[in-house]
A and B are shown apart, each in its own frame.
Chain A
């Protein structure tokens, strides 16, 4: 069974501080990992996915298969980063059922 764990329900930092939102997964095949973000009063939207290896809004995430992790990082948090962040997993070439973590609420204080 595939599972996504986001251990922190809430992460509170000050503007300019580094941010790391943790995501661990369990999947027996080749995973594809995503981070989705939901800003206040907006719909859920894709932030980034591991295949693209992009930096979006200063965020990066590296897939670590050894540690089965896909942590989201940003070196200097901004107030506009405050949102709910969801880590999600799908199986490449196998199960297409996406599994989401419970989400981490990031609050960036001025």
Chain B
């Protein structure tokens, strides 16, 4: 499978714990996006990278969230001190090119449940 992959697919954690998700984009894609999706809503932009540089970060993103893409390939999204409101599907997408108009390819998502 040469598409975008995300691990784990499901994560259940207790409030206050830290979690980390991984996204492996399509290999030649230089842009990588993270989104959060809650029930009944569309994907909400969190942050994106062009190669290893984090170029945009949503103002809605709490300081508890951090993302990295150290070598311009895979990316990790970490949530510290999780809260119940963090329960959501976390989506990763990648695209090729300098313009956002290039098609984004989505991963299957990581479903986070905070108890």
Contact = CB atoms under 8 A, between A and B. Distances in A.
A97 B55 CA distance: 10
Contacts of A90: 100-101
Contact of B101 (A6, A49, A101): A49
A22 to B, nearest CB: 14
A11 interface: no
Interface residues of A, number: 23
Nearest to B56: A97
B42 A102 contact: yes
A6 B106 CA distance: 21
A17 interface: no
| B-side interface size class | 20 to 34
Given A98-B33, A100-B42, A46 B103 contact: yes
Contact of A97 (B41, B58, B108): B58
Contacts of A100: 35, 42-44
B109 interface: yes
Nearest to A49: B101
B44 A96 contact: no
Interface of B: 3-4, 33, 35, 40-45, 48, 55-56, 58, 91, 93, 99-101, 103-109
Given A44-B43, A51-B101, A97-B56, 12 more contacts: A43-B109, A44-B93, A86-B42, A90-B100, A91-B100, A92-B101, A96-B56, A97-B45, A97-B48, A101-B42, A102-B40, A103-B42
The 5 closest A-B pairs by CB, nearest first: A100-B42, A44-B106, A96-B100, A90-B100, A46-B103
